[in-house]
Structure 1
Amino acid sequence: MATRRNEFDQPVGSAVEGWSPRGLPPRSAIDGRYCRLEPLDMRHAADLYEAYSSAADGRDWTYLSTGPYAAFQDYRGWLEHAATLNDPLHHAIIDLGTGKAVGTLALMRIDRANGAIEVGHVAYSPRVKRTPAGTEAQFLLMRRAFDELGYRRYEWKCDSLNAASRAAALRYGFRFEGIFRQAVVYKGRSRDTAWFSILDSEWPAIKHGFEQWLDPRNFDASGVQRRKLADLIKR
């Protein structure tokens, strides 16, 4: 595609016709096949603390800005505040098989004017890790951002040393954009931040890959995937 130029013969970006600021994500549930996302509420506190407490140790909290929580009251205090926020807008992941909350994630850094939004505060308990529900939760928020609200850019950021988070971003179809050095101070240490994104032009192929992966026919009788999500997205 030829580069656009203005009246001064300077290269400029592609035109965005009829653009207007995007809406705020609504405080409403999103239903899926394996899970339901609900705006975080105090009623989720006991289930979530129990789910997180099923982990053998506190390593899942190393790269999060909060936790681990030694007592239920500590976690309840965090959740009570988090549930009131609109940015980040935290969601509880409800496992439809058990009806229990098993993890959380949030839409955040909501830039309505430019149509950019980030998924973050991803805190998965052992009960949702490596499950269809865990992957579907990501898909449901992407679908809300792109299909419902019309955002142009969907971001994922993490500590550059968090290998698991970086691998997850690539699995979900995000593209690596680079490292912001010394971007954050948290838990008494410095963080270089790895940036990833999905653009609205890339979303249709990624959406199709998710839909194929989440199809029950993609899993054998033991629940093992037949085809990998990353492979389906590439196709």
Structure 2
Amino acid sequence: MWIENKVLEGQYVTLEPLNDAHIVPLQHAVQDGESWKLWYANVPREDEIPQYVAQAIRQAETGDIAYAVRAKLSDEIVGTTRYYNVESAHRRAMIGYTWYAASVRRTPINTEAKFLLLNNLFESCAGIAVEFRTHFFNQASRAAIERLGARQDGILRNHQIMKDGSYRDTVVYSIIASEWPAVKNNLLSKLCK
């Protein structure tokens, strides 16, 4: 595997490769904020978590790695994030499927989780690019991606059909290896505040 399936640890979070032991904690986390009710988000309902985890474990066998996000202060699982569409031949991946309990949004949790994923990709794996995608109408997600330092590449119009049958316009962002030093400094400065 190009990206090693391992624990990533920071000051605020520990990213643990997703396993069955995370099902119940993720069910508790998803209840906080009920993000699955947002029509433009793709967050599982509580009863969908076992299938969500099982699918992520299967995908890890092909190089896509999902993590449970553990807040170090509370020692609780507060959400999940992952590498997906990993292309080892081209040393690039997407980061996404990220959702958090409402109680930890706009805290250092997401900033550090993304820092750990990006640092691992660019420095440990010599990645050349990472991509983020989100729904055009998901303003919170778009703002979070932009705060990371990613640049918008474009919009894929009518890119996906949503659960409710509506069409999703997908906004595509990326960070390339030459931008990583500046993005890294930006993220580290946010974490030091």
| TM-score greater than 0.5 by the shorter chain | yes
Query: Residues 208 and 60 from structure 1, CA distance in 2 versus in 1: closer, same or farther, beyond 3 angstroms?
Result: farther
- Indicate if the aligned counterparts of 1:38 and 1:92 stay in contact, CA closer than 8 A: yes
Match of 2:20 in 1: 42
| Number of aligned residue pairs | 190
Match of 1:30 in 2: 8
Provide the rounded CA distance (Å) in 1 between the counterparts of 2:102 and 2:37. Answer: 9
Unaligned runs of 5+ in 1: 1-22, 219-235
TM-superposed CA distance for 1:127, in Å, is: 3.0
Q: Secondary structure of 1:81's partner? A: helix
Is residue 202 from structure 1 mapped to residue 179 from structure 2 by the alignment?
A: yes
Query: Residues 27 and 181 from structure 1, CA distance in 2 versus in 1: closer, same or farther, beyond 3 angstroms?
Result: same
Provide the rounded CA distance (Å) in 1 between the counterparts of 2:103 and 2:182. Answer: 29
Provide the rounded CA distance (Å) in 2 between the counterparts of 1:169 and 1:60. Answer: 21
Match of 1:212 in 2: 189
Letter in 1 for 2:21: R
Match of 2:53 in 1: 79
Letter in 1 for 2:12: Y
Match of 2:91 in 1: 115
Which has a greater percent of helix?
A: 2
Match of 1:8 in 2: none
Q: Secondary structure of 2:178's partner? A: coil
TM-superposed CA distance for 1:77, in Å, is: 2.8
Q: Which of 1 and 2 has higher RCO (CA within 8 Å, sep 6+)?
A: 2
Q: TM-score, normalised by structure 2?
A: 0.91
Query: Residues 58 and 209 from structure 1, CA distance in 2 versus in 1: closer, same or farther, beyond 3 angstroms?
Result: closer
Which of 1 and 2 has greater Rg?
1
Provide the rounded CA distance (Å) in 1 between the counterparts of 2:102 and 2:7. Answer: 23
Bigger mean CA deviation after superposition, 106-115 or 199-208: 106-115
Is residue 193 from structure 1 mapped to residue 155 from structure 2 by the alignment?
A: no
TM-superposed CA distance for 1:182, in Å, is: 1.3
Deviation digits for residues 191-211 of structure 1, max 9, x if unmatched? Answer: 111110001001001101111
CA RMSD of aligned residues (A): 1.7
Provide the rounded CA distance (Å) in 2 between the counterparts of 1:60 and 1:213. Answer: 30
Q: Secondary structure of 2:23's partner? A: helix
Letter in 2 for 1:155: E
